[in-house]
């Protein structure tokens, strides 16, 4: 080996040592100097790229690793890391190509098959990901994340027994990993196994959001165990989305019946809707939670109530309506409607909770609902909020909903509007839960891998008797589902 190569190897080792010791700025300076002296050395460029990625300089990292691949395309690891950099930037198809090249160069690459499966899943290709992950767990049966991801694929394809088996295997390997437990919980709940599902779902409180939620009250304040507080105060934390809160406040009367004064944390958008709700003695703004907790005898997160109440809560699950719209607001909205025929509200987009999981993405676009335009005698009204409402500027031909979104300033206004509509058609959003809680006719368009509460089959749900579910089947697009909705809408009239 030449002296020049000895020197290069030594300098690269020094740069790596600096990185390992946390001296990233010094390491970057050394990497920069090495690449200046050896601008066409693939491994120097590669290591510099990894250091740049660690520093958050993503564009430079991608450029450097790409150069390393171009200079030495026979190195599987270079392709793997380039694939990972592309995946992190959501350039999934390009990442797939790099992971495939990784495996063609080195079929035994320790991470290539797992990464390729991960990419396939992110592209909505769960069926293609399954054989890759099955080979991963055959080679590495002790790899918990692989079993977890295999479970996610089976859940997406509605294979409940296989998904449950995979999540349980992941837990055996990594018993303290909350992600595995929560995924098992959601799979159990989707199959109707309420008792075990809610017990496992307590693991969600190990995630950072759950830890933060519980940290707002004194550590000495006990968690409620379902026993009577003798009229004492119980603080119930709001958690997750508006829809979750609307769905589970139905349990509050059962809580009060156990001798508790209920102090319900309530966000401003829900306050007008829940003001006077018989299950809550007081609505607590989030900023006052710590202060109110000091006056309570116990606390509990809202979605922990089913596990505490046990079978009793299931008896009240389908009791609807349990919310009412404000009569004065209903009358005000009634004055706005002077149209003939059925009045139908539309919502096509919710918050992007699963933007990295195409099979669970619950939002479509207004153009996907174009088949609804074929239904005569219907007046459509947009209830859409947020950025997606901009799609109303260029609606599909024949479908031009009246934009009511700007008038829906909180959920009490939305509830009053619903009381004046004949039907609400929506994706899986809080609007769906609100319509169901009010007992209004509502049709919900679900993604291929729907949320646990909608289970895996059927057009009805025990949660809301007035709700009808339209499921996106494998190989279907959103406008295929909208065509089925349009056909049902003709009969609705």
pLDDT tens string 76-99: 999 999 999 999 999 999 999 999
- pLDDT single digits (tens) 342-360: 999 999 998 765 554 455 5
Residues 327-492: name the CATH superfamily: Glycogen Phosphorylase B; (3.40.50.2000)
Element containing residue 336 per DSSP (H, E)? none
pLDDT value, residue 6? 60
CB 423 within 8 A of CB 492: yes
Half-sphere exposure of 231 (CA within 13 A, CB side): 0
Q: Point out which residues pair with 380 in neighbouring strands.
A: 344
Structure tokens at 243: 């829809």
Q: Model confidence at 341, in pLDDT bands (50, 70, 90)? A: confident
- pLDDT single digits (tens) 154-188: 998 999 999 999 999 999 999 999 999 999 999 99
pLDDT value, residue 352? 66
User: Residues spanned by CATH 3.40.50.2000 within the chain?
Assistant: 327-492
Query: What is the chain's alpha carbon radius of gyration, rounded to the nearest angstrom?
Result: 27
Give the integer Cα–Cα distance in Å for 333 and 416: 7
Cis (ω within 30 of 0) for the bond into 204? no
State the pairing for strand pair 232-237/298-301: parallel
Q: Point out which residues pair with 346 in neighbouring strands.
A: 382, 425
Residue 264 DSSP code: E
Phi, psi of 139, rounded to the nearest 5 degrees: -80, -35
Mean pLDDT (whole number) for 47-52: 94
Half-sphere exposure of 292 (CA within 13 A, CB side): 22
Across the chain, mean pLDDT equals 93
Give the integer Cα–Cα distance in Å for 374 and 233: 54
Mean pLDDT (whole number) for 272-286: 94
Residue 394 DSSP code: S
The model's pTM? 0.90
Q: Which residue has the higher pLDDT, 19 or 316?
A: 19
Query: Is pLDDT of 246 > 50?
Result: yes
Q: Which residue has the higher pLDDT, 351 or 196?
A: 196
Query: Is pLDDT of 390 > 60?
Result: yes
Q: Which CATH number applies to 3-206?
A: 1.25.40.10
Q: Model confidence at 2, in pLDDT bands (50, 70, 90)? A: low
Query: Is pLDDT of 478 > 60?
Result: yes
State the pairing for strand pair 423-427/402-403: unpaired
- The verdict on domain 212-314 having CATH code 3.40.50.20 is yes
Percent of the chain's residues with pLDDT above 70: 96
Q: Point out which residues pair with 469 in neighbouring strands.
A: 444
Give the integer Cα–Cα distance in Å for 137 and 223: 39
pLDDT value, residue 3? 53
What is the b/e burial string over 323-355, where b = at least 16 CB atoms within 10 angstroms of the residue's CB?
bebbeebbeebeeeeeeeebbbbbbbbbeeebe
CB 269 within 8 A of CB 411: yes
Rounded to the nearest 5 degrees, what angle is found at the Cα of 371, between the Cα atoms of 398 and 418? 80
Percent of the chain's residues with pLDDT above 90: 84
User: Residues spanned by CATH 1.25.40.10 within the chain?
Assistant: 3-206
Q: Which residue has the higher pLDDT, 390 or 358?
A: 390
In 3D, which of 190, 181, 185, 135 has the Cα closest to residue 157?
Answer: 190
Alpha helices in 158-274 (DSSP H): 160-173, 178-190, 194-201, 208-214, 242-248, 252-256, 268-274
Give the integer Cα–Cα distance in Å for 168 and 150: 11
In 3D, which of 455, 461, 413 has the Cα closest to residue 436?
Answer: 461
291-297 LR contacts (CB < 8 Å, sep 24+): 292/233, 292/235, 292/263, 293/216, 293/217, 293/218, 293/221, 293/235, 294/218, 295/233, 296/221, 296/232, 296/233, 296/234, 296/235, 296/263, 297/222, 297/229, 297/232, 297/233, 297/234
């Amino acid at each position: 080996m030449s002296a020049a190569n000895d020197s290069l190897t030594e300098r690269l080792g020094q740069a790596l040592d600096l990185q390992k010791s946390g001296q990233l700025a010094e390491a970057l300076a050394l990497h920069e100097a090495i690449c200046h002296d050896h601008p066409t050395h693939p491994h120097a460029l590669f290591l510099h790229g990894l250091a740049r990625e660690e520093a958050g300089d993503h564009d430079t990292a991608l450029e450097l690793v790409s150069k390393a691949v171009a200079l030495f395309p026979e190195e599987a690891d270079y392709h793997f890391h380039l694939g990972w950099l592309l995946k992190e930037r959501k350039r999934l198809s390009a990442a797939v190509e790099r992971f495939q090249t990784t495996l063609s160069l080195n079929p035994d690459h320790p991470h290539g098959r797992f990464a390729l499966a991960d990419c396939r899943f992110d592209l909505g290709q769960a069926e293609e990901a399954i054989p890759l992950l099955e080979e991963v767990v055959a080679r590495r049966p002790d790899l918990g994340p692989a079993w977890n991801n295999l479970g996610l694929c089976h859940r997406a394809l509605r294979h409940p027994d296989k998904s449950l088996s995979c999540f349980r295997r992941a837990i055996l390997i990594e018993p303290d990993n909350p992600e595995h437990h929560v995924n098992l919980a959601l799979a159990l709940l989707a199959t109707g196994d309420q008792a075990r599902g809610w017990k496992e779902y307590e693991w969600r409180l190990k995630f950072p959001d759950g830890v933060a939620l519980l940290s707002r009250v004194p550590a000495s304040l006990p968690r409620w165990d379902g026993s009577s507080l003798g009229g004492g105060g119980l603080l119930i934390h709001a958690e997750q989305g508006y829809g979750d809160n609307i769905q589970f406040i139905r349990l509050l009367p059962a809580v009060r019946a156990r001798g508790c004064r209920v102090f319900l944390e309530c966000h401003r958008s829900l306050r007008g809707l829940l003001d006077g709700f018989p299950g809550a003695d007081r609505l607590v703004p989030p900023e006052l939670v710590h202060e109110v907790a000091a006056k309570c005898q116990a606390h509990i997160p809202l979605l922990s109530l089913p596990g505490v109440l046990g079978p009793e809560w299931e008896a009240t699950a389908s009791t609807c309506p349990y919310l009412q719209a404000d009569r004065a607001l209903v009358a005000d909205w009634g004055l706005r409607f002077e149209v003939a025929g059925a009045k139908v509200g539309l919502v096509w987009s919710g918050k992007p909770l699963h933007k990295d999981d195409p099979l669970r993405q619950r939002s479509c676009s207004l153009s996907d609902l174009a088949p609804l335009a074929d239904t005569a005698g219907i007046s459509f009204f947009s209830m859409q909020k947020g950025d997606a409402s901009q799609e109303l500027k260029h609606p599909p031909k024949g479908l031009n909903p009246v934009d009511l979104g700007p008038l829906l300033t909180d959920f009490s206004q939305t509830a009053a509007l619903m009381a004046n509509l004949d039907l609400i058609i929506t994706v899986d959003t809080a609007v769906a839960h609100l319509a169901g809680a009010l007992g209004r006719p509502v049709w919900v368009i679900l993604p291929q891998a729907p949320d646990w509460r909608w289970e895996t089959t059927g057009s009805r749900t025990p949660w809301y008797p007035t709700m009808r579910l339209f499921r996106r089947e494998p190989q279907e697009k959103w406008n295929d589902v909208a065509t089925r909705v349009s056909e049902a809408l003709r009969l609705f009239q």
